[in-house]
Structure 1
Amino acid sequence: MIRTLLALDGALVLGALSFVLAAEDDIRVVAEVDRGDAVSAAVRAQRPDVMVADLDFVEGVDPGRLGLCPVLVLAHPHRARRLRGLLCPTRAVGILRSDAGPQRVIDGIRRLARREPVLDADLVVAALRSDGPLTSRETEVLRLTAAGAPVAEVAVSLGLTRGTVRNHLGRIARKVGARTRVEAVRMAGEAGWI
C-alpha cells in the first residue's frame, strides 16, 4: 500500500484527486493539506510513502522537514523556472504539469514509490533554461517596478527618461503576455525572471 499525502491548493482539486486515488487498490490517501504551512507537520505525523504537492507548497522548504518522502510536484508551465531548486540528484522528486491527467498522477505516485524518475520533459527543459525573454535592462526596470517604484523613480534610478521606462514596461508586458504592469510583475515573478 502506497501511503500518499496530498498537499494541493484548492478544495475542489484536492477532493477530486483524493476521490480518484481512493479507487486504486494500492494507494491510500493518509492526509490532505490545503495550506503550505501545514505540510511539514502532516509529513511528520503521517509519514507518507509519497507526497503529491503544488510547487508553492514545497518550494523553499528545507528537504529535511519533508523527511525522506519522495515528492511529486505539480507545476504550471509558467512557473517551471522555479523548479530549478528542486532538481537535485539527492532528492526523490517527480515533476508533472499541474494539468496532468489523473492516470498520469497515479502512474507518477507508483513510480516514485519505486524510486523511479517521473519527469515532464518540457517542464524540466524550461526549468533549466538559463534565461527568460527579458533583457537585462527590462529585468532591472521590472524589479524596481515590483518593489513599488513609480515610473519617475525607476527613471531616476536607472538614468532613463520616463518615456523610456514606459516603453520598457510596454515591451515587458507584451513579452510575458500580460495586460497590466501588475500582471507582468506577477507573471515574471512566477516564472523566476525577477
Structure 2
Amino acid sequence: MFRTRTAAALLTLPLAAATLLATAATPAGAATARPAPSLTCQGKGVDAEALVRARTETVIDAPLSTVWKLQTDVERWPDWQTHVTSMDRLDHGPFRPGSAFRWTTPVPPNPATPATSLDITSTVRQTERGSCIRWTGPAVGEGLHIDGVHVWTFQKVRGGVLVRTEETHTGEQVEADVPYATAILQQGLEAWLDELKTAAEARSC
C-alpha cells in the first residue's frame, strides 16, 4: 500500500500515551495553525477524506541520485529498513506507474489488535524521476485491514535533498481510535525517514 510504514503500526505507542492523545484538548484561546497543503505527485495526493493522516520531512546530506535509488530500489529495502522483513517486486524493469511490490513488516500488539505481521501490496500510481512518488494499496494482518495512500517528494536544497512524505490510512480498525492510529503512523514515517537519511548519508561519505 503505501509503504506505509504503512505502516501502520510499526511502532508501539504506550497505552497511557495513547489515552493522553485521545483525551487532550486544545487550550482555550490557543491559535489553531492552518495545516500545510497536502503533498502531490503529478496533481494527485493522499486520501482527502481519511481521518488518519501523518506527514514529516527531513534534509538528507547526500546526492539526489543516491536518495532516489535507495527509495525506488524496493527489492533492497530490507538491507537498510529495520522493519521490512521480506520484499518481492511483482514486475520487472524501471520503477514506473504500474510497478507493484509485496512486502511484510511486523506489528506489535496494541489495544485494538494482537501481534501480527502486515502483508502489504503497493502499486505505484504516479512518479516523476527525482521529484515525486505516489503509491496506494492494502495492508492485511490478523484482525487488521488498512488501505493506504503514500506520497513522497524530493527537492534539491542547500545542504542536500529535502524529502517530504505524507500518508493516509482508512479502515475499520484504525478509525476506531484515530488519535492512536495517527500517532503510530507518525512514528512510522519518522522512523522511515531516519533510516533513509542514515543509509543515504553513509553511501555518500
Structure 1 length normalisation: TM-score? 0.23
The structure with more strand, counted as a fraction of residues? 2
The higher radius of gyration belongs to: 1
Taking structure 2 as the reference length, the TM-score comes to 0.22
| Greater RCO, 1 or 2 (C-alpha within 8 Å, sep 6+) | 2
**Higher helix fraction: Structure 1 or Structure 2?**
1
